[in-house]
Structure 1
Amino acid sequence: MEDSNASANADIHALCDPARRVVLRGGLAAASALLAPLAACVSTPPTRLLGFTGVAVSRADAVLVPPGYVAEPIYAWGDAIGAPGLAPGLPAFRADGGNSAAEQALQAGMHHDGMHFFALEGAPPSERGLLVVNHEYTDEGLLHTDGAAAWSAEKVAKSQAAHGVSVVEVQRDAEGRWAVLRPSRYARRITATTPMRLQGPSAGHALVRTALDPSGTQIRGTFNNCAHGVTPWGTYLTCEENFVGYFHGPAEPDAHARRWGLRPQGNGYRWHEHDERFDATRHPNEFNRHGWVVEIDPFDPASTPIKRTALGRAAHEGAFVMQAIDGRAVVYMGEDARFEYIYKFVSRDAVRPGGFAANRELLDHGTLYVARFDADGSGQWLALTAGQGGLDAAAGFASQGELLVKSRQASDRLGATKMDRPEWIAGDASTATLYCSLTGNSSRGQAGQPGVDAANPRADNSMGHVIRWTESGGLAGTRFAWSHFVLAGDPANERAEARGNANGAEFASPDGLWLDPRGVLWIQTDVSPSAMHRGEHARLGNNMLVAADPRSGELRRFLTGPVGCEITGVVTTPDMKTLFVNIQHPGENPGQRNDPANPTRHSSWPQGLAPGGRPRSATVAIRRLDRGVIGS
């Protein structure tokens, strides 16, 4: 059913958005047009959303926030999760990297990423809740006492325990400060060895069966968990991103393995030496069992996480969920890899009242689409359905289960638009408008690689951009109109008002996105440590959190992080008086992992959180000293 209000809003935006008018008229050449504020074509400018004083570019080894705000680390790598039956501080973090694998499984994992705050029943919704936090990957140089010089079964087990997801209970005290409650009956770690189920069309398919699991339905673990999603029925979606690099591949991979980047040496993880699952020469289907969206019930620590194959297999950055006007769930997903795709899943059935118990199979049935961005500013969602559009047995897609394992190959065949590393997606259901961050693509336009196109208009795109689109006919529709929200980096590529606005904020490599209930779009950046000190990136300092007003186009820098870090995982409490942000890999060393012999050479953040000198990823709680709404 068409959402007439959304369609009307889309028409107004199209008329009042000069960038979209130029794109519609001029194709590729217009793709770099500047985005003028909507206020330019209405008689009364909208109320200003951003009320804080922007912070300056920084290279300090600290988290810097506007005047009147305070940022306090509350949950760092190695902190006890508060497991039931254990004393509050146990197992304690050892600054020399000496914690065992068993201890690490009861502590915060490494490299915090996507995150959500779930309010708990029986308490004021913004005073107490569960923080669910992804732990993307590990820095073996910091994780182990002697670094990664020699691997052992214990080191592999500890590395696997430092991946995955945390569930911790947090509470705000009378002074407004937050702390993890220990012990807690909700406290849980989900790791690279946690038992899980595979459900949906690919469950049981020959491509996911192994000697260790002939059924193709029982899987151990999740890892490289990047961004996330939250369902209307109260569950958490964690997304497996760069999973292929954990596997030791064959010297001569077949076409399927090559399309997914499986190679003999992986990305330096040597788990296969002590966990045979990760040796793809012995268990070639194991790597097909990863790269999925995983659903977790945060309120039931005994529940089994479920890998939802109907949402497709990809290097999933995140899974942003909204409800269509007819009640169906719509899940938007980006695949963070060069020249990969943006996806949308529309459930077959409407969301039912009754929480997770009433919606346990909702994400197992529906249609997966991949996006094509056309040069005239229009776009189409192409259905990834076996037997349609040339996706048949002759092309290697004999069933929907096989197609979903080969989502990339199916998207290739349909001619979807190859994007510049699509990452987080955020949106406004009332207008059916979505935003996607594209961190960049230095290979765009290089020899033998795809050239520029309307949606990805810059060769050697080292700065990234944010694209937006409005769905035609509501969220479940198959057509949309798109434009560039911002081309990051060089001010000549940004909006005109940002260039002349003292409160404008230049940034590069947009990564995390979140649209808060007031309509502020929060943009987190991830300039790699290797790029941070050269060329145009050098003047932008450390990674940052930028607040944007989509209506006026105003940008303000809200936060800068410590040396070498990535900013990620933004979310507020329901009252919007606390902002949680994750500081990932502080002190990460360009070109190599950190040295355990000199761990603070690049960063000693977070100082004072716990004894010891190793830099530690951590969740930070940010609040206004006057207890007002964040950003207003």
Structure 2
Amino acid sequence: MELKKPLSRRHFLKYLGAGAASLAAAYSGLSSLSQRASASTPAMNVYEQLPETFNPSLHTAADADQLLLASGFSYNVLAAYGDTINKSGDTLGFNNSYTSFFPIPGSSSEALLWVNHESAQYAWMLDRSKAVVWEQQKQLLYDQGASILHLKKDLAGQWKLVPDSTLAHRISGLTPIELTGPVRGSKSVNGATLVQGTFANRGGGKTLWSTQLTCENRFESTCRDAGLALSHYGWIVEVDPFDKKNKPVKHTALGRFHHGSAAMSLSADKRIVVYMGEDSPSGFVYKFVSAGKWTEGNGRANAQLLSEGTLYAADFIQGRWIELSVDNVRKQLNLLTYQVPENMYKSKEALLKQFQSQSDVLTSASEAALIVGATPCDRPAELTVHPANQNVFIACTQNDSRGNLHGQIIRLKESGGETFAVETFITGGRQSGFSSPGSIALDKNGSLWVASDISADRLNTGAWSEFKNNGLYLIHPTGTAQKTKQYASAPKEAALSGLSFTENQSTVFLAVNHPGALGAGTNKPTSQWPHRAGDKTARSAVVAITGSIW
């Protein structure tokens, strides 16, 4: 099934909604957008509608084993781990961490919902002294990847899962996937052109031609348990959610590392730009710029633009993008004054042997970024691009090894060419009311939403005790810390992520990830959410939220 209307650069403001430009000025400081906004009818300001104090309608505690919402909102569970999602009997995968809404062309009452699955956890994983048998490997691989759900509105106008759908399907660690780009068939991937599956899928982003990019994050443990080559994973995968026949592809030109998320934009000269964050304690921020130019009429044929281009890493100190080329890497290594960072645990000679071609650089992008002088960040897990002004918001979750307990959100503004300006937009901590931003999203009003990602073993303890369970917050357009408002609180040991919206924003989709994480796979469960009758097992799930202000 082909979507007929790909998004063009001139449609960005329309895509945002009527009130987007007015808030874009607040987020960017660009007065030129204010004049444009004055001619539009203002959209509903969700921020002003939320209460000042988080006040769930049924509970007052924010450390309960419940998904708690601000007054006036309610949710229903669309699907939880293990639920049947289609006529073939496929089931929803394990820990879901990202969602993306795709309306079915020609319908206002049916849609597909993309859901990522970033990890799996079973009782047998607690005992590493035993070999992992094939049935366990198969389960491990199947329960990761992504689920494509078919949703339909019921008579009351609420979105519900179609459990016997023929459109819904799974992409998993068992799915054949093609490699594209410079690394395809190279020594760096052992000559592979086709690899087995995708897993450890954390974040993602839509393309301008209405396909899905999904990001492979912490893939090492699954590779070890399933006996798979490390170099085949850690890429960005593109999938057409409406097409079950064609193979997904891994775009090697975008680099291999612990991908946290991806956000696509369009440059002034119509080249595809993909911003990416590396979800590691000392991860980097990257940018890919396509060699070719985007053509609106080409539709999904534009996907070929992701096979060739230039990959950069950000130097925040100098405000510049550094090209990750084999020439730049080898030039730096050959300098007499260059000293290899101790945490690389390699000599110059070993690194010169490692980096001999561009495919070597792309396959080891994080090491290449460190060598050429990019700036390590405190877990730049997720980022998003404001469609009205192209500012990039980056959630740096935290890094307590460097004393950064609560993280921050930084804002990057391109200056043209290979330079940019960067600033801290808001810092986590007591003054802002949230800690450890792990997931961020912009709605069509230009409002910035932030979900915290405090690790399960630190929730309600020490420096993080006052924040209670992980939550979802709405940030004031100016980044004023004192005015942050809480929208939701997660069940015990869960994280909230994957915020996405219907086109008219009447419904919000949200992933509730790993409730009861510390008790998973043991005989001592710490959560029973979503509290289904006759089922005491904690299950990750996707929910649909509605409320009076949407």
TM-score (norm 2): 0.84
Match of 2:510 in 1: 581
Match of 1:154 in 2: 135
Instruction: Give me the whole-angstrom Cα distance separating, in 2, the residues matched to 1:201 and 1:147.
Output: 37
Match of 1:217 in 2: 193
Letter in 1 for 2:492: V
Matches within 5 A, 1:136-175: 136-141=118-123, 151-175=132-156
Matches within 5 A, 1:302-321: 302-321=245-264
Matches within 5 A, 1:92-131: 106-124=90-108, 127-131=109-113
Match of 1:454 in 2: none
Deviations 1:371-414 (A, max 9, x none): 0112xxx6111111232464589644332212101211211121
Letter in 2 for 1:82: N
Shift of 1:244: 2.0
From 254, 265, 273, give the equivalent of 1:330: 273
Structure 2: segments with no counterpart, 5+ residues? 1-9, 14-20, 35-42, 56-60, 335-351
User: Is structure 2 residue 407 aligned with structure 1 residue 464?
Assistant: yes
Q: CA RMSD in A?
A: 2.8
Structure 1: segments with no counterpart, 5+ residues? 17-37, 39-45, 92-105, 210-214, 249-269, 278-285, 445-459, 495-505
Matches within 5 A, 1:257-276: 270-272=225-227
Instruction: Give me the whole-angstrom Cα distance separating, in 2, the residues matched to 1:569 and 1:243.
Output: 20
Matches within 5 A, 1:233-272: 233-248=209-224, 270-272=225-227
Match of 1:437 in 2: 395
From 594, 598, 612, give the equivalent of 2:520: 594
Judging changes above 3 Å, is the alpha-carbon distance between structure 1 residues 488 and 138 closer, same or farther for their aligned structure 2 residues? same
Judging changes above 3 Å, is the alpha-carbon distance between structure 1 residues 148 and 399 closer, same or farther for their aligned structure 2 residues? closer
Letter in 1 for 2:120: T
Match of 1:352 in 2: 295
Instruction: Give me the whole-angstrom Cα distance separating, in 2, the residues matched to 1:116 and 1:467.
Output: 23
Secondary structure of the 2:119 match is coil
Letter in 2 for 1:63: L
User: Is structure 2 residue 227 aligned with structure 1 residue 227?
Assistant: no
Match of 2:83 in 1: 79
Q: Is the 8 Å Cα contact of residues 330 and 355 (structure 2) preserved in structure 1?
A: no
Match of 1:404 in 2: 362
Between 53-62 and 223-232, the greater mean CA deviation after superposition: 53-62
Letter in 1 for 2:76: E
Match of 1:383 in 2: 323
Q: Is the 8 Å Cα contact of residues 99 and 114 (structure 2) preserved in structure 1?
A: yes
From 471, 475, 499, give the equivalent of 1:570: 499
From 292, 308, 325, give the equivalent of 1:365: 308
Q: Is the 8 Å Cα contact of residues 585 and 616 (structure 1) preserved in structure 2?
A: yes
Q: Is the 8 Å Cα contact of residues 214 and 238 (structure 2) preserved in structure 1?
A: yes
Shift of 1:147: 12
Matches within 5 A, 1:553-564: 553=480, 554-564=483-493
Secondary structure of the 1:412 match is helix
Secondary structure of the 1:404 match is helix
Instruction: Give me the whole-angstrom Cα distance separating, in 1, the residues matched to 2:534 and 2:275.
Output: 41
Instruction: Give me the whole-angstrom Cα distance separating, in 1, the residues matched to 2:332 and 2:209.
Output: 35
Deviations 1:308-348 (A, max 9, x none): 00001110011111122322211111001111200011112
Instruction: Give me the whole-angstrom Cα distance separating, in 2, the residues matched to 1:379 and 1:516.
Output: 28
Shift of 1:364: 0.5
Secondary structure of the 2:439 match is strand
Instruction: Give me the whole-angstrom Cα distance separating, in 2, the residues matched to 1:417 and 1:430.
Output: 27
Shift of 1:354: 4.6
Match of 1:425 in 2: 383
Letter in 2 for 1:517: K
From 608, 612, 628, give the equivalent of 2:535: 612
Instruction: Give me the whole-angstrom Cα distance separating, in 2, the residues matched to 1:356 and 1:564.
Output: 42
Shift of 1:597: 2.9
Deviations 1:504-525 (A, max 9, x none): xx11110011111101111011
Instruction: Give me the whole-angstrom Cα distance separating, in 2, the residues matched to 1:527 and 1:564.
Output: 9
Identity of aligned residues (%): 32
Deviations 1:5-34 (A, max 9, x none): 99xx99995799xxxxxxxxxxxxxxxxxx
Match of 1:481 in 2: 421
Letter in 2 for 1:243: F
Q: Is the 8 Å Cα contact of residues 473 and 484 (structure 2) preserved in structure 1?
A: yes
Secondary structure of the 2:243 match is coil
Judging changes above 3 Å, is the alpha-carbon distance between structure 1 residues 309 and 175 closer, same or farther for their aligned structure 2 residues? same
Q: Is the 8 Å Cα contact of residues 544 and 567 (structure 1) preserved in structure 2?
A: yes
Q: Is the 8 Å Cα contact of residues 460 and 467 (structure 2) preserved in structure 1?
A: no
Letter in 1 for 2:115: V
Shift of 1:545: 0.6
Q: Is the 8 Å Cα contact of residues 460 and 469 (structure 2) preserved in structure 1?
A: no
Shift of 1:246: 2.8
Instruction: Give me the whole-angstrom Cα distance separating, in 2, the residues matched to 1:358 and 1:347.
Output: 14
Between 149-158 and 388-397, the greater mean CA deviation after superposition: 388-397
Aligned length: 493
Secondary structure of the 2:257 match is coil
Instruction: Give me the whole-angstrom Cα distance separating, in 2, the residues matched to 1:58 and 1:587.
Output: 15
Instruction: Give me the whole-angstrom Cα distance separating, in 1, the residues matched to 2:425 and 2:178.
Output: 39
Instruction: Give me the whole-angstrom Cα distance separating, in 1, the residues matched to 2:101 and 2:44.
Output: 28
